[in-house]
């Protein structure tokens, strides 16, 4: 869906700077796109690692009046029992939240050394065994009612998309590319959409102009850390949230947490830390929303409970095997 461009949001302090003869750079273009419901942005809380953390998101968001459209989990489907996934699916549905679980394993948990070196394979699937495990986790999560899956490997993404096309996964399943496989240029962004991505987490250090370049390359929804965890930069960009929305729409604005220890895979031994960090991510989201509300011409968000995404162009599948 497209929406008419709106005026550039008027950031506090800009007129004073211009009056001193210090105008800012020329603004990149406003995105003409929107989610199918007409909203320009949605809000995501990442690192929601189990039923207790999701309950904490719901409680804190209610207290701080934070509209949560999606939560994502990083430890992976394999770190949750069926009953825990079922509890998360139920709580998410009752509160209009899109639940996105990570399909693992990846190289960063494997025996190979390359995940910790320059030129790292990061969290990508290493070998056929990890591809197979990822597919098995995706099928298990889908059977338990999960409709949004987080992937960090282009090969796994393409394989799951082909299974979705073939009917082995529900047609309404949505695939979200992890920041661990983030595209840093317009061509890479477009390729991930063609491979089956419905939303794409782009690097947290892209400039506003670079975000506009990616948006011009394809219609997939952009995911962007307004505040990123330390392992992906630790950037705190609350002051840019209005510009992120303006040039990137449709966009999921995400609130990670700087100065927080990585907890994947999470568990009872880290429960207090996980819950405290979860509460603070929601509070950080409130800070970002307050910043957004101080701008004069920000397009509206999607209503909570709306999860539809625009249809995307895909690479054609391989021809059927010869009889």
Average the pLDDT over 246-256 and give the result.
97
Domain 29-108+122-293 in CATH 3.20.20.70? The answer is yes
DSSP characters over 264-284: SSP-GGGHHHHHHHHHHHHHH
Q: Are 45 and 57 in contact (CB under 8 A)?
A: yes
CA distance 188 to 220: 12
pLDDT score at 7: 52
pLDDT score at 16: 84
Any idea which residue has 């950031």 for tokens? 11
Model-level pTM? 0.91
pLDDT score at 8: 57
User: At residue 150, does pLDDT exceed 50?
Assistant: yes
pLDDT score at 5: 45
Exposed e or buried b per residue across 147-170, where buried means at least 16 C-beta atoms within 10 angstroms of its C-beta: bbbbbbbbebbbbbbbbbeeeebe
112 confidence band (pLDDT: 50, 70, 90): confident
Alpha-carbon torsion (208, 213, 216, 220), positive or negative? negative
Q: Is the peptide bond before 125 cis (omega within 30 degrees of 0)?
A: no
CA distance 237 to 255: 10
4 confidence band (pLDDT: 50, 70, 90): very low
User: At residue 62, does pLDDT exceed 80?
Assistant: yes
User: How is residue 99 annotated by DSSP?
Assistant: E
- In a 3-state reduction of DSSP, which class is residue 170? coil
CA distance 91 to 87: 6
Residue 237 vs residues 1, 125, 136: alpha-carbon distances, Å: 28, 31, 37
10 confidence band (pLDDT: 50, 70, 90): low
Beta strands in the chain, from DSSP E residues, in sequence order: 41-45, 70-72, 98-102, 148-151, 174-177, 199-201, 221-227, 251-255
Alpha-carbon torsion (53, 54, 55, 56), positive or negative? positive
pLDDT score at 322: 61
Token output for 223: 């995911």
Instruction: For the chain, give every domain's residue range.
Output: 29-108+122-293
Any idea which residue has 């948006």 for tokens? 215
Token output for 193: 């959409």
DSSP characters over 240-264: GHHHHHHHH-SEEEEE--TT----S
Token output for 87: 């509890």
Query: How many residues are listed for the chain in this entry?
Result: 323
């Amino acid at each position: 869906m497209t929406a008419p461009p709106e005026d550039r949001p008027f950031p506090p302090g800009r007129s004073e700077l211009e009056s001193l003869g210090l105008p800012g750079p020329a603004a990149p273009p406003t995105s003409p796109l929107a989610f199918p419901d007409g909203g320009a942005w949605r809000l995501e809380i990442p690192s929601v690692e189990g039923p207790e953390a999701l309950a904490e998101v719901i409680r804190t968001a209610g207290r701080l009046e934070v509209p949560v459209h999606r939560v994502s989990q990083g430890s992976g489907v394999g770190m949750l029992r069926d009953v825990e996934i079922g509890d998360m699916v139920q709580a998410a549905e009752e509160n209009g939240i899109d639940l996105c679980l990570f399909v693992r394993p990846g190289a960063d948990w494997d025996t190979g050394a390359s995940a910790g070196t320059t030129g790292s394979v990061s969290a990508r699937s290493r070998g056929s065994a990890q591809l197979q495990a990822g597919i098995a986790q995706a099928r298990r999560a889908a059977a338990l009612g999960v409709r949004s899956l987080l992937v960090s490997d282009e090969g796994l993404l393409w394989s799951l998309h082909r299974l979705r096309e073939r009917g082995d996964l529900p047609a309404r399943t949505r695939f979200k590319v992890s920041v661990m496989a983030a595209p840093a240029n317009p061509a890479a962004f477009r390729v991930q959409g063609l491979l089956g991505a419905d939303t794409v987490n782009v690097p947290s250090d892209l400039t506003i102009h670079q975000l506009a370049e990616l948006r011009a390359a394809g219609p997939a929804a952009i995911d962007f850390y307004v505040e990123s965890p330390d392992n992906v930069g630790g950037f705190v960009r609350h002051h840019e949230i209005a510009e992120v929305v303006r040039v990137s729409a449709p966009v999921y604005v995400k609130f990670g947490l700087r100065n927080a220890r990585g907890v994947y895979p999470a568990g009872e031994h880290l429960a207090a830390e996980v819950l405290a960090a979860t509460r603070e991510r929601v509070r950080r989201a409130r800070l970002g929303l307050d910043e957004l509300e101080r701008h004069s011409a920000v397009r509206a968000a999607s209503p909570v409970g709306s999860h539809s995404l625009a249809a995307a162009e895909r690479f054609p599948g391989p021809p059927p095997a010869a009889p």
